[in-house]
A and B are shown apart, each in its own frame.
Chain A
Amino acid sequence: MMKKHTWLKYSWLMVTMLFGMIIFNTTTAQADTKEPHYVIATDTTYAPFEFQGQNGQYVGIDMDMLRAIAKKEHFTYKLVPIAFNSGAQGVLSGQFDAIIAGMTITPEREQVYDFGTPYYKTGIIAAVSPKSNITDLKQLRGKTVALKTGTGSAQYALSIQKKYGFKVTYFNDSNTMYNAVALGNAAAAFEDDPVMKYAIKNGVKLKIITQPANGGEYGFAVKKGQNKELLAKFNAGYAAIKKDGTYDKIVAKYLGSNESKFAGSAKENDSILGLLKQNKDQFISGVIKTLQLTVFGIIFATIFGVLIGVLAVVPNKFAYGLSSTIIYIFRGLPLLVLAFFIYIGLPSLTGTKIPAIVAGLITLTLNEGAYIAAFVAGGLKNVDAGQMEAARSLGLPYWKAMRKIIMPQGIKLMIPSFVNQFIITLKDTSILSAIGIIELTQTGTVIISRNMQGFRVWFIVALMYLIIITLLTFLAKWVDKKFSSN
């Protein structure tokens, strides 16, 4: 009995320690400063307000402005680029202190956010493919219009949907939305005027067919009633940079008509090698993030899965029930839903922030772990019952028999399933881009948002996944061989 408990305790200790190490790492990275420190969300892809520059740093009107204001007002911040909708919700759940993401001030939003001084006047336009013969919103009747989830433009489009009779489809980032229109999958897109102009200037094949409508203003937002100090600093800083001309310089830098192509030279964009060279650092950091998620995800999921899988075969109804319930829930939930629930849902309930990478790892552990648990339970059940009887008849306690006799035979049966699950885990890490982890897939999105080279960049990303999967498969085969020869 003693032995059984120490074994379980030991495994559990390891899991908590590893998780702890990751949390500890991310928190120490942001501490150690006398100036107030904030976590500020922004969109991953919203040029010219925020997008990744060629050196990997985030640039754009919002970004440059925030940097100038922080400097003037003496605060530091950690920037979290994340899909707009997740970022906006993350502020409400306490995950982030504020968001700056070309966010239109609306009465609905003012009920839950406090906005700073409006810093940019905008309007919403509709754009179509240059080949399209649509010149007026009236021609959209019965056609599908592309919108970006949770944006002011989407809201505006919905408000006129009845009048013009179009259907809508939603996308999570601008670039995918533009491509849907450029490729003819949607007839038109609604977008903020400056954003669309910037995109067109950088080579997006769209044309604007309307005047800016429903003029709105962008604001810096915090959760209503919270972070008053940060909001005050933003307003003071904004007033200062407006006065000394910094603000105008920033806007001119991104939208000035005399500005030439912003997205790097055509030569570099035209070849895969050129793209690779130009974005080398970003790709490397994306691959590293993907590998980290995969490796740690596999380790935690395996520990969790084996524990839960073993629980399913012990002769105890409660353990069996617990195990089946866990498998049922976490295998049943889509990975994306689970990730959003842990990253955005849980903090709203508990009030504790979870770093995205930790939320991502917990998601992988639970989801992949549930699959592992299912085949571990199956594998152990497939070991002949006589094996357990023989071991017990010699006087071996249950857990010792499990470990020395049943597990080694069961694991051998499970190895192909493990290899399969590891490959699935690697691929599933791409889903975690949705909670703002800049892994390989998100790196692709981010690079495309700057250079609009969709086909070539996705080709590179796909190739990288294949290379990693090939290496992982080799490794798994090698482990399998080692195991079988023993």
Chain B
Amino acid sequence: MGTENEYKVVLLGEGRVGKTSLILRYVHDKFNDRLDRTVNASYLTKTVALGMKRVDLAIWDTAGQEMFHALGPLYYRDSQGAILVYDITDEDSFRKVKNWVKELKKMLGNEVVLVVIGNKSDLESERSVPLHEAESYAKSVGAAHFLTSAKLNRGITEVFLHLCKEMIMKRARDGARRQSTGAGAQRNRLQVETSDDNAEPTRTNKCCSLI
């Protein structure tokens, strides 16, 4: 990503779970003409003001169909946040989320902030994925769990707000860690230089030495 305010977020999940509806709901609010929604649901941007901070989100929607699964790495590479969406009425979609989490953990490690979303919460009566199971799974992989309904515009802004917060904190933590490691390295280097300066030059008969 270009600047420190920019964050890449990727949406993953099986086809028909409502990924596109979610981001369209989030990005195109009620004051925006529906005609604009006909195009470009695969890449959307949204700026969020958090206090005096500005967060520029680039949201990449991925193709959920199985035939596109292999293209996933092209999309989630370099992302700071991943939203894994399942349909609460479709158990198989929850299994797919688990696969995506495995893959993300394997490829990106802990570099990415994960959020698991149970979408279509308006269809609670048809639920087939137990809530406690989804929540405990999310917790076990270090992800937050949310219930959303793109249809009723429920719970979506909370997801992105949480994600923004976590990504900002993570970037700050990583920055601080890098700085401290950098400072540590700098300290070490200076110590070596100091000791070199003070030390007597070692004499060796060898013409080449690794030291």
Note whether A and B form a binding pair. no
**Which residues of B does A touch, CB under 8 Å?**
none
A positions within 8 Å CB-CB of B: none
